[in-house]
Structure 1
Amino acid sequence: MEPDAMSALTISDTLATTTDSLQLIELDHQGILGIEGPDAVKFLQGQVTCDIRDLASPVSRAGAQCTPKGRMLSSFRVLQSQPETLLLRADTAMLEAIQKDLGKYIVFSKARLSNRSEHYRLLGITGAGAAKYVEEISGQTFSGNDAWLKYRQSFFIQLDEQRVECWLASEDAVQLTSQLGTRTTKAPANSWTLATIRAGFGEVYPETRELFTPQSLNYQLVNAINFRKGCYTGQEIVARLHYKATLKRHMYRVTFRLPDGFSLPTPGAGIVDAQGKTLGELVVAAVDRNNTAEALVVVPDNQLEHLYLAQHPEIQLTRLDLPYLIPLENDH
């Protein structure tokens, strides 16, 4: 969801989103940016945290674009659809900023940027067996997480066995949407946000530009930073945090109760301790069933027991497991 829509969501007007069935979710809050030309790979390689040279495998990669001080300007997922074409998926509210940020540097390269969102319909499939379901439809097999399949002119990306992104080309969209809908139940965008939270993957929204480092969102733990790829904007700071610093803050998954009529906290909302001292920030939140919500928050590793929402200090956050382990010392 776009942050504006997210802030309007309440427990009472959101569908229950925890189910074992396959869900088909319209991702109209996301869009596609195209980077095309002989220098497309070389150009983006010098701008982002992930290794663009990996994409020829073919795999997709999550990554971030940073300021020279190592703060995240944006987050995305990217794949190489053709030798001289990269497709970068990001939140629609961020696309214009990403295009502007990259546009400052692309003038020196034989490459061009274009908003390709109108050429794709983006869907998500969640639930047990999501990847197998797509394999049945396409007649192909994923090689693992982050791998993608091309079917007709469209792309299916396995994030994990229970989450698949579908980038449907305009000419395929009607027929493939119908096929994907045969054994799935339609669900709101909140369901995708909730599944992403449970996967422990945080992204940047307009409210949180330049707020987080890649490490504070655990990007080193989800293969969204390559520390051997060479130089890119912000690389010196990101590498220094990895090799020479002890990370004392990470992103954690939490749950909390919200009374009926309360709005979800928006990205960047403050997290405080019992005395009201600011400890960190909320990355994203989504509604679950039974008057509860889940969120990702960035807070100190040694202060996980007494966390509260700054806007609603009566609401305590309870830590939940992530699908990966967070090291509590230097990430060497």
Structure 2
Amino acid sequence: MLTLSQLENISQLPDLVLCPLNSWDLISVTGEDRVAFLQGQLTCDLEKLIPGEQTLAAHCNPQGKAWSVARVIILEDRILLVQPSSVSTVQLPELKKYAAFSKVTIQKETEYQAFGLAGCKSAQYIAEQVDTAATHDTSRLLDSGTVLIKQPYPSLRYLVIMKNDAAEELLLDLKDKADVFDDSLWNAMNIAAGTGFIQAETSAQFVPQMLNLQALNAISFTKGCYIGQETVARAKYRGANKRALFILTGRSPESPKTGQTIEVLLNNNWKRVGTIISACQYGDDHIELLAVLPKDTNPADVFQVKEIEGSTLYYAPLPYQIDED
């Protein structure tokens, strides 16, 4: 299996890439109260979604800090949450403790599996092997139960959710036709897209707006109450949030880690300014990361990872606009 360290940048991606998402969990929420229950837990408005549709969302604690960020996918008989495995050990007990009085079951999904497809020929492969029309939609639910979700920038890629039997058949075919990368590549693509998924190290530290989730249509400000809603609303209507998610890029002798400290060079001194949400390193010591920093960060500033001597980082533009809180 190939790794990100074998690339110098994402532009070198092979034509067709398979990414098994081995460090991600697929969480299943079933039962007749599943929509109402999650409506009171997540920042998104689930009542506006129909089977086959999806959205990003945060699950917050009562103080409005995000336990996790997940991609939420609506199926006919269940709701799936796709999130890093490390955060599930922290977040799932918090989600389950509110489920005691609702008719829902929350567990690791056993009937479906998730994987990523990327590269300039990924749409062609999906059209030929899965469904022609699916490549034209942001997300589509097929009669077989398969869900195909086109992912945002930086390059053509799809999140694929399939029932086990169909997935195993397709994966067998892909292993002969695609280059197989571990999910360090998927992480790098999420970073380039400015999408920050929470790991265990940063769980319950940041309100959703610090992760730019308002700019990614992951927060509803009109749906009513949910856990942490008062803090999220205060950040929007009272301007209480002074931080945001930024992309930084540069060089480092080693790959930064989630939770490490970002410092900025001010008057020839290094000052702590933020925290790494996710990071990656390519084969030539080039690094890219997502970090929560002050919203008024100067794009001309120079940064470093406190814990890594010799690291140097610079501002890189996000592929979207950060909406005003």
| Aligned pair partner of 2:308 in 306, 312, 322 | 312
Q: For 2:139 and 2:48, locate their aligned partners in 1 and report how far apart those are by CA, in whole Å.
A: 11
Of 294-303 and 278-287, more deviation after overlay is shown by 294-303
Corresponding residue to 1:158 among 150, 154, 159: 150
Q: Percent identity?
A: 29
Give, in angstroms, the shift of residue 35 of structure 1.
1.0
Alpha-carbon displacement from aligned partner over 1:279-302 (angstroms, at most 9, x marks no partner)? 010110012242211101111133
State the aligned residue count: 313
The equivalent position to 1:231 in structure 2, one of 211, 221, 225, is 225
Give unpaired runs (5+ residues) of structure 1. Answer: 1-10
User: Is residue 256–residue 280 contact of structure 2 (8 Å, CA) maintained in 1?
Assistant: no
Question: Secondary structure in 2 aligned to 1:56?
Answer: coil
Report the equivalent of 1:6: none
* Deviation (angstroms), 1:271: 0.6
Change (3 A) 1:66 1:131: farther
**CA–CA distance in 2 between the matches of 1:104 and 1:246?**
29
Q: Single out whichever of 71-80 and 308-317 deviates more from structure 2.
A: 308-317
Secondary structure in 2 matching 1:277: strand
Residue in 2 aligned with 1:321? Answer: 317
Q: More deviation in 243-252 or 219-228?
A: 243-252
Aligned to 2:242: 248
Aligned to 2:280: 286
Q: Could you tell me how far apart the structure 1 residues matched to 2:317 and 2:16 are?
A: 23
For residue 74 of structure 2, the aligned residue among 50, 74, 80 is 80
CA distance in 2, matches of 1:22, 1:97: 35
Render the CA deviation track for 1:110-144: whole Å, top value 9, x for unaligned: 1111221x433321112235345423322242486
Contact 2:51/2:74 (CA < 8 Å) preserved in 1? no
Question: Compared with structure 1, are the counterparts of its residues 231 and 108 closer, same or farther at alpha carbon in structure 2 (3 Å cutoff)?
Answer: same
Partner of 1:7: none
In the other structure, the counterpart of 1:266 is 257
Q: 2:89 aligns with which of 89, 92, 96?
A: 96
Q: Is the 8 A contact 1:27 1:189 kept in 2?
A: yes
Distance 2:159 2:148 in 1: 6
Please give the alpha-carbon distance, in whole angstroms, between the structure 1 residues aligned to 2:75 and 2:309.
Answer: 47
Contact conserved, 2:56 with 2:218, CA < 8 A, in 1?
yes
Partner of residue 99, structure 2: 106
- How far is 1:179 from its partner? 3.7
User: Is 1:135 paired with 2:127?
Assistant: yes
Report Cα offsets for 1:196-222 as digits up to 9, x if no partner: 111110011110011111111100011
> Unpaired segments of 5 or more residues in structure 2?
none
Relative to structure 2, which stretch is displaced further, 125-134 or 69-78?
125-134
What is the identity, as a one-letter code, of the residue corresponding to 1:217? Answer: L
- The 3-state SS of whatever aligns with 1:231 is coil
Q: Which secondary structure state, in structure 1, belongs to the residue aligned with residue 235 of structure 2?
A: helix
Per-residue deviation, residues 4-52 of structure 1 (Å, max 9, x unmatched): xxxxxxx9x9221522422111101112111111111000000010111
Q: Secondary structure at the match of 1:156?
A: strand
Structure 2 CA distance, aligned partners of 1:217 and 1:107? 30
Q: Which among 108, 111, 132 is matched to residue 115 of structure 1? A: 108
How far is the alpha carbon of 1:145 from its aligned partner? 6.5
TM-score (norm. length: structure 1): 0.87
Establish whether residue 205 from structure 1 lines up as the match of residue 208 from structure 2. no
* Residue 277, structure 1, aligned to residue 254, structure 2: no
Q: Pick from 172, 178, 187 the counterpart of residue 181 of structure 2.
A: 187
1:148 aligns with 2:144: no
1:255–1:294 Cα contact (<8 Å) kept: yes
For the structure 1 residues 210 and 98, does the alpha-carbon distance in structure 2 shift closer, same or farther, using more than 3 Å as the test?
A: closer
2:63 matched to which residue of 1?
A: 69
Change (3 A) 1:119 1:52: same
Q: Please list the CA deviations of residues 84-107 of structure 1 after superposition, one character each: whole Å capped at 9, or x if unmatched.
A: 421122212222333211111111
Rounded to whole Å, the distance in 2 between the matches of 1:168 and 1:147 is: 13
- Partner of 2:270, secondary structure, is coil
- Paired residue secondary structure (1:113): strand
Tell me, yes or no, if the aligned pair for 2:66 and 2:208 is still in contact at 8 Å. yes
Query: In 2 relative to 1, CA 143–26 (structure 1 residues): closer, same or farther, beyond 3 Å?
Result: closer
In 1, Cα distance between equivalents of 2:303 and 2:136: 36
For residue 31 of structure 2, what is the amino acid of its counterpart? G
SS in 2 for 1:192: helix
Distance 2:314 2:159 in 1: 29
